[in-house]
Structure 1
Amino acid sequence: MSLRLRINLLVSILMIIFIGSTAILQIQDIRKQIREEMAAGTKVTVKLLSIFLSNTQISALGKNRETDLVLFLKNLGRVRAHEIILRNGIGDILYVSPPSKYKAGRYAPEWFSNFVTPKIAPFTIPAKGLSLQILPDPSRAILDAWDEVIDLVILAIAFFFILNLWSFWIISRAFSPIKSLVEGLELMTKGNLQTRLPNYPIAEFHAVTKRFNQMATALELGIKENNRLALSINQSSDALFLTNTDGMINFWNPAAEKLFEYQGEGFRNQNIRLISPNNLIHEIDTNLENILNLEHRDAFETLRKTRSGRKIEVSEKVTPIVEPETNSILGTLFVIRDLSEKRAAEKTKLELEKNRELTTVVQKRLEEERKALAMELHDELGQYVTAIKTIATSIANRSKDGDKKVYSSSTAIVSAAGQIYDAVHNIIRRLRPITLERFGLIETLKETIDELQKIHEEINFTFSAKKINLNKESEISLFRVAQECLNNAIKHSKAKNVSIDINLTKETLVPFLKPITILTISDDGIGISNNRLNIPDRFGLKGIRERIQNLGGTLVIETNRNRGTKIVASIPSL
Structure 2
Amino acid sequence: MAKPRRAMGLLLKVNLLLGSLAFAALAIFSAQEIQTTRSSIREEIEASNRIATQLLARITAIYSRQGPVALAEVLRQTGRVRANEIRLYDHAGELLYESPPTSYKAGRYAPEWYAALVTPAMKATVIRVNAGTLVVAPNPTRAVLDGWDDLVSFMVIQSAALLMAYLLLSWMLMRWLAPFEQIRRALLQIGSGRHDVRLPALPGREPGEMGMAFNRMAQAVQDDIASRQQIAQAEARLAAQREFTQALHRRIEDERRAIARELHDEMGQSLTAMRSISAALAQNPELRGKPAGEAARLLFETAGASFDAMHRLIPRLRPIQLEEIGLGDAVRDLVASLQQAHPGLHITLAMDLAQHDAVHVDAETCAFRILQEALTNVVRHAQASAAWVELSIRDGALRVCIADNGRGADEPLSRNGHYGLRGMRERAEALGGRLAIGPAQQGGLQVSAWIPLQEETV
Alignment of 1:114-125 (within 5 A): 114-125=116-127
- Show the counterpart of 2:62: 55
TM value normalised by structure 2: 0.53
Contact preservation (8 Å) 2:86, 2:137: yes
In 2, distance between residues paired with 1:24 and 1:107? 20
Give the SS at the match of 1:209: helix
Distance 1:213 1:31 in 2: 62
Q: What are the equivalent positions in structure 2 for 1:144-155 lying under 5 Å apart? A: 144-155=146-157
Deviations 1:368-399 (A, max 9, x none): xxxxxxxxxxxxxxxxxxxxxxxxxxxxxxxx
Q: Is the 8 A contact 2:67 2:131 kept in 1?
A: no
Return the offset for 1:26.
1.3
CA distance in 1, matches of 2:104, 2:49: 18
Match of 1:167 among 158, 169, 185: 169
Measure how far apart 1:283 and its partner are.
Answer: 9.5
Is 2:241 aligned against 1:184?
no
1:73 paired residue among 72, 75, 84: 75
Change in 2 beyond 3 A, CA 1:143/1:344? closer
Deviations 1:33-63 (A, max 9, x none): 1111111111111111122223335xxx3xx
Corresponding residue of 2:243: 257
Check the 8 A contact 2:84/2:137 in 1, yes or no. yes
Change (3 A) 1:88 1:6: same
Whichever residue aligns with residue 313 of structure 1, its letter is I
Residue of structure 2 in register with 1:306 after alignment: 362
Cα deviation, 1:275-314, whole Å, max 9, x if unaligned, reads: xx976997999xxxxxxxxxxxxxxxxx996379554539
Partners in 2 of 1:194 and 1:128 — Cα distance?
Answer: 104
Partner of 2:43: 36
Evaluate the alpha carbon distance shift between residue 282 and residue 107 of structure 1 in structure 2; reply closer, same or farther with a 3 A threshold: farther
Q: 1:88 aligns with which of 87, 90, 100?
A: 90
Query: Please, which of 191, 203, 209 is the counterpart of residue 201 of structure 1?
Result: 203
2:214 is aligned, of 207, 212, 215, to 212
1:370-519 equivalences in 2 (<5 Å): none
Question: Contact 2:128 / 2:134 at 8 angstroms: preserved in 1?
Answer: yes
In structure 2, give the amino acid aligned to 1:130: G
Pick closer, same or farther for the CA change 1:307–1:102 going to 2, 3 Å: same
Q: Is the 8 A contact 2:186 2:197 kept in 1?
A: yes
Of 137, 140, 158, the residue aligned with 1:138 is 140
For 1:283 and 1:133, the matched residues in 2 are separated by 130
Secondary structure at the aligned position of 1:10 is classed as helix
Paired residues, what number? 276
Q: Assess if the C-alpha contact under 8 Å between 1:85 and 1:97 holds in 2.
A: yes
* CA contact 2:67–2:130 (8 Å) conserved in 1: no
Cα distance in 2 for partners of 1:281, 1:55 equals 147
Match of 2:402 in 1: none
Offset of residue 259 of structure 1:
3.8
Q: Which residue of 2 aligns with 1:403?
A: none
After superposition, the Cα gap between the structure-2 partners of 1:284 and 1:133, relative to the gap in structure 1 and judged at 3 Å, is: farther
Task: Give, as a single letter, the amino acid of the residue that structure 2 aligns with 1:15.
Answer: A
Closer, same or farther: CA 347–68 of 1 in aligned 2, 3 Å:
same
Q: Does the CA-based 8 Å contact 1:45-1:79 persist in structure 2?
A: yes
Q: Deviation of residue 147 (structure 1)?
A: 1.3
Q: Distance in 2 between matches of 1:98 and 1:150?
A: 28
Deviations 1:117-172 (A, max 9, x none): 21111111112332210011111111111111222232244334433433332222
Alignment pair present for 1:347 and 2:417? yes
Find the aligned partners of 2:179 and 2:360 in 1 and give their Cα distance.
61
TM-score by length of 1: 0.43
Give the equivalent residue in structure 2 for 1:401: none
Residues 216 and 132 of structure 1, relative CA distance in 2, 3 Å threshold: same
Q: CA deviation at 1:347?
A: 1.3
Greater C-alpha radius of gyration: 1
Q: What SS is found at the alignment partner of 2:60? A: helix
- Alpha carbons 1:107, 1:139 under 8 Å: kept: yes
Aligned partner of residue 85 in structure 2, secondary structure: strand
Give the counterpart letter for 1:306 in structure 2: D
User: Aligned residue for 2:112?
Assistant: 110
Work out the CA distance in 1 between the residues paired with 2:98 and 2:61: 20
**1:167/1:278 CA distance change after superposition, 3 Å:** farther
Task: Check conservation: 1:196, 1:213, Cα contact below 8 A.
Answer: yes
1:27 matched to 2:34? The reply is yes
**Distance in 2 of aligned mates of 1:109 and 1:345:** 111
Q: C-alpha offsets along residues 443-468 of structure 1, whole Å, 9 cap, x if unaligned?
A: xxxxxxxxxxxxxxxxxxxxxxxxxx
Which region of structure 1 is more displaced relative to structure 2, 182-191 or 106-115?
182-191
Instruction: Report what 1:129 is aligned to.
Output: 131
Structure 1, unpaired ranges of 5+: 237-252, 263-276, 286-302, 316-331, 337-341, 351-574
| Alpha-carbon offset, residue 209 of structure 1 | 1.2
Contact 2:413 2:419 in 1 (8 A): no
Structure 2 counterpart SS, 1:20: helix
Structure 1 pair 219/283, CA: closer, same or farther in 2 (3 Å)?
farther
- 2:89 and 2:192 mapped to 1: Cα distance? 95
> Given that residues 69 and 96 in structure 2 are in contact (C-alpha distance below 8 angstroms), is that contact kept between their aligned partners in structure 1?
no
Per the alignment, do residues 234 and 44 of structure 1 end up closer, same or farther by CA in structure 2, a change over 3 Å counting? same
Q: Tell me the alpha carbon deviations over residues 394-422 of structure 1, each in whole angstroms, 9 at most, x when there is no partner.
A: xxxxxxxxxxxxxxxxxxxxxxxxxxxxx
Query: How far 1:224 sits from its partner (Å)?
Result: 3.4
Name the SS of the counterpart of 1:134 in structure 2. Answer: strand
Cα deviation code 1:179-222 (max 9, x no counterpart): 32233223323443332212222233223212211211222332
Between the aligned partners of 1:6 and 1:97, the Cα distance in structure 2 is 58
Matched residues in 2 for 1:278 and 1:81: separation? 126
SS at the partner of 2:417? helix
* Root mean square deviation of aligned Cα: 3.7
Contact in 2 for aligned 1:116/1:142 (Cα 8 Å): yes
How far off its partner does 1:74 sit?
1.5
**In the TM superposition, what is the alpha-carbon distance from 1:12 to its structure 2 partner?**
0.9
Which protein has greater RCO, CA pairs closer than 8 Å, 6+ apart? 2
Q: Distance in 2 between matches of 1:346 and 1:205?
A: 66
- Name the counterpart of 1:471: none
- Residues 131 and 281 of structure 1: is their aligned pair in 2 closer, same or farther, counting only changes over 3 Å? farther
Aligned letter for 2:15? N
